[in-house]
Chains A and B, each alone.
Chain A
């Protein structure tokens, strides 16, 4: 499989995350920040629910005819003097991008925010071949300095406190600038000054693409910092890297999706920059790159087409499901051990990395449904996590204790008389164990429960036993 993860260690990573005071402080802000802003933005747009239906339909139509729209996109890009490269997996994507960089004689590459390049681990690949790759999105830059992976698909450094940013800058930039490092504004100014120099020195600029428009051969980035624009317009060569599923038929379709994307992601009516790139610089253009490449990465996505996971490919990476997920809110993104965390990651990661590598992720959900309730393209995320649990169960990968427990329960639940007898005995036993207080502090085989909670003791007589007794007494 093609996506590298550390998702097998999820339970350990959860313990680390829960014990990390800085992280918990950072996550506390998430619960009442982005979710409230999204809610307010949705309330201001009466047609929001209708737009969700339209967006889901646009995505479904495109996915049904993906081969057609990919070829149309390629044709449109080529007609305008650009180049489209299809990469079957991470390795081939990295090889294609390295080759373009080498042809440009690149020593230094700047990057706008792109989850697909995180997925394929492009920075490491280019660095291994002597090309410095510098993140220019502030969050990505912070994460790169801290030698971490992003913890959120929209806000990569959401787990980092301001004081930790100051520490990272002190380590990498040296002496503090005149403004000091106490205020967010001065930290931003410092980062801007450092990153600006790199924009001017870069030979190649690499961005992602939120959408690839088939009718015009346009890639679109939706950003707030302007770094993406400098990344793609200043260097001689612009490479846009994105997944094959990001293609949309028309400009009109892209605009429908963009209206949902910003509101769902950050609660903005529109992001600060919505930049459309169509081909390289023309003779009459005042600026722009001399060469325009689009790398469309499959890396396991096409295996989801026609499967029970196809609807996951509707995803427009807004991050709303992460922001509203109470599990994500407890542990943050890094515990998931995948560049795609939270509910969308719980479906996508096993699709790209295999269920054997990422089995914990679709299991670590209460199926509360908050993710599906906010998804702008109405992906049935809990249902898909359940599908992964089915695949896991059917292939015998589910934990043995779970299979055993389930087997015993299933055996009894299908035999009402046996079930009644066992339940009656169990309820009596636990009633006694609960004592006068009526709660159990410890429970054999029940440490998962009693680690945090007492178990309220049963009344002693089950409902069905009591019901039968009362009817006889009448």
Chain B
């Protein structure tokens, strides 16, 4: 099969906070036999506007994403939340919009990283050294789980990499991030993330892995505030092969 040309949608949170997640995603996609390109003009999927009721703002950014990712076999992001948004683009533009058909086409080839690797490429990552993952538990980010049906894929990748997952009892319950929600209603968000931390603690894991940076920053931020041994990683970070020295 011809190598797929995959456009990496970096996401604004990965760009700003944790670029390593983007590079890890590229290494994984390349290990899976893809040619990865990173369109330069990308910024954000527009979800903050869409979920704040700003239709026009969301529309403008949807068009910008469509422009940035034309001519590629797939658009992949290390985030179920952003891909969930890309899948919404036909609804964002509406059926009367001149770019509606392109939005439909983009939505059909937009994939969250782990589901792309497993469902589209049947990829199995190389084993990861045990030291980098002693006891892992996985938080299912809401958009990926309930909008895209992502639950088995990251676990399959972790298993293939030799990483055992100790399930927490409330893996599918929201961590309380919710975009602007977490700053608009901090008491509620704070209570929710504390419930998540309690669930992680009951699992006995020392590493929290998840597939969305919003959840990750929220959970990691609360872990840091309380102080404790649990570290938080994006699933791409734990799975990706080491960076080869000296470039390609």
In contact, A369 and B248 (Cβ under 8 angstroms): no
In contact, B192 and A451 (Cβ under 8 angstroms): no
Consensus secondary structure, chain A interface: helix
Could you say which residues of chain A place their CB within 8 Å of the CB of B15?
423, 462-464
In contact, A463 and B43 (Cβ under 8 angstroms): no
Instruction: Report how far A414 CA is from B220 CA in the complex, Å.
Output: 30
The smallest C-beta distance from B186 to any residue of chain A, in angstroms, reads: 5
The smallest C-beta distance from A365 to any residue of chain B, in angstroms, reads: 7
In contact, A326 and B220 (Cβ under 8 angstroms): no
Q: Is B57 an interface residue (CB 8 A)?
A: yes
Q: Is B203 an interface residue (CB 8 A)?
A: no
Complex interface residues of chain A between 383 and 430 (CB less than 8 A to chain B): 386, 388-394, 398, 402, 406, 409-410, 412-414, 416, 419, 423, 426-427
Instruction: Report how far A410 CA is from B42 CA in the complex, Å.
Output: 13
Q: Is B224 an interface residue (CB 8 A)?
A: yes
In contact, A467 and B50 (Cβ under 8 angstroms): no
Beyond A14-B185, A458-B16, 12 extra complex contacts between A and B, CB < 8 Å: A331-B188, A364-B181, A364-B184, A373-B146, A386-B53, A393-B54, A406-B52, A412-B43, A413-B46, A423-B16, A426-B16, A453-B225
Q: Considering only CB atoms, which chain A residue lies closest to B38 in the complex? A: A467
The smallest C-beta distance from B112 to any residue of chain A, in angstroms, reads: 15
Complex interface residues of chain B between 145 and 189 (CB less than 8 A to chain A): 145-147, 173-174, 176-189
Instruction: Report how far A365 CA is from B53 CA in the complex, Å.
Output: 13
Q: Considering only CB atoms, which chain B residue lies closest to A363 in the complex? A: B184
Instruction: Report how far A272 CA is from B224 CA in the complex, Å.
Output: 49
A390-B188 contact, Cβ under 8 Å, with A410-B60, A449-B221: no
> Which of B17-25, B27-35, B102-110, B123-131 touches A?
B17-25
Residues of B whose CB lies within 8 Å of any CB of A are 10, 12, 14-20, 22-23, 38, 40-44, 46, 48-55, 57, 60-61, 64, 142-143, 145-147, 173-174, 176-193, 195, 217-218, 220-222, 224-225, 247-248
9 closest A-B pairs by beta carbon, nearest first, are A366-B178, A448-B183, A453-B221, A393-B53, A389-B53, A463-B19, A368-B174, A452-B190, A369-B146
Interface range on chain A: under 10, 10 to 19, 20 to 34, or 35 or more? 35 or more
Instruction: Report how far A373 CA is from B185 CA in the complex, Å.
Output: 23
In contact, B187 and A416 (Cβ under 8 angstroms): no
Could you say which residues of chain A place their CB within 8 Å of the CB of B143?
367, 369
Q: Is A182 an interface residue (CB 8 A)?
A: no
Q: Considering only CB atoms, which chain B residue lies closest to A443 in the complex? A: B183
Instruction: Report how far A389 CA is from B55 CA in the complex, Å.
Output: 10
A369-B53 contact, Cβ under 8 Å, with A327-B188, A363-B184: no
In contact, B192 and A326 (Cβ under 8 angstroms): yes
In contact, B222 and A367 (Cβ under 8 angstroms): no
Instruction: Report how far A419 CA is from B68 CA in the complex, Å.
Output: 15
Sample of 13 A–B contacts (CB below 8 Å): A31-B195, A366-B181, A366-B189, A369-B142, A369-B143, A389-B51, A389-B53, A390-B55, A393-B55, A406-B54, A414-B64, A452-B221, A473-B247
Could you say which residues of chain A place their CB within 8 Å of the CB of B46?
413
Instruction: Report how far A452 CA is from B144 CA in the complex, Å.
Output: 25
